[in-house]
Amino acid sequence: MIGGMARKTLLRATVSSFIALAATVSLAGCIGGGDATPTSSPTPTVTSTPSATPTPTRSATPTPTVAPTPTPTPTPTPTAAPITGVSVEILNTSYDPTVGSISVAGIVGDLVSETGVCIATATQDAATASAQSPGVPGPTMTYCSDLTIALPAGAAGTWTVELAYADSSRSGSASTSVVLE
């Protein structure tokens, strides 16, 4: 019986050892023994699914900006050179009845100019006729010649003839009467 008793004792010792081992393993997780790696709990993942209908977003309403009205800069008016009076003298007038015209010749004293214009005008009541030519510079004056005024058909009586000279800064005139005979 000794053999049977030894078997019982061995069985008791094995069962006791097994219980002790199971208790140790069970308690190791409570005391901090065992696996030191922390376990992670699952984290929820948020995903968005595109919508078939776009959702309108509010946009800011633009505030109208009023631009200041620019103040106009005045444009300077060019100042014309003052017109200086010159002395014009009629030297000759003549009427030619064959062609119905008056010829005029004159001078602009104390002025030598290549830019002026001479204009001869004949006037009677409402009728007016004129001719012009460039002034011709001389040594001490400007000549107004080759001015032939064609009168209207049937002209008769007394006509006032004016000889005028003008350039960019000077002007003057003289007049006389011509009797058509």
Mean pLDDT of all residues in 57-69: 60
When pLDDT is cut at 50, 70 and 90, the band that residue 18 belongs to is very low
Contact 117, 132 (CB under 8 A): yes
Greatest mean pLDDT among 42-46, 81-85, 109-113: 109-113
pLDDT of 125 strictly over 90: yes
Closest CA to 101 of 175, 176, 143, 159: 159
pLDDT of 21 strictly over 50: no
CA 106 → CA 6, 85, 103, 110, 150, distances in Å?
172, 16, 11, 13, 18
pTM across the whole model: 0.56
Q: Where are the beta strands (DSSP E) in 45-141?
A: 84-85, 87-96, 101-109, 117-124, 127-134, 136-137
* pLDDT computed for residue 121 by the predictor: 98
Mean pLDDT of all residues in 89-115: 95
Q: Cα(145)–Cα(118) distance, rounded to whole angstroms?
A: 8
pLDDT of 12 strictly over 90: no
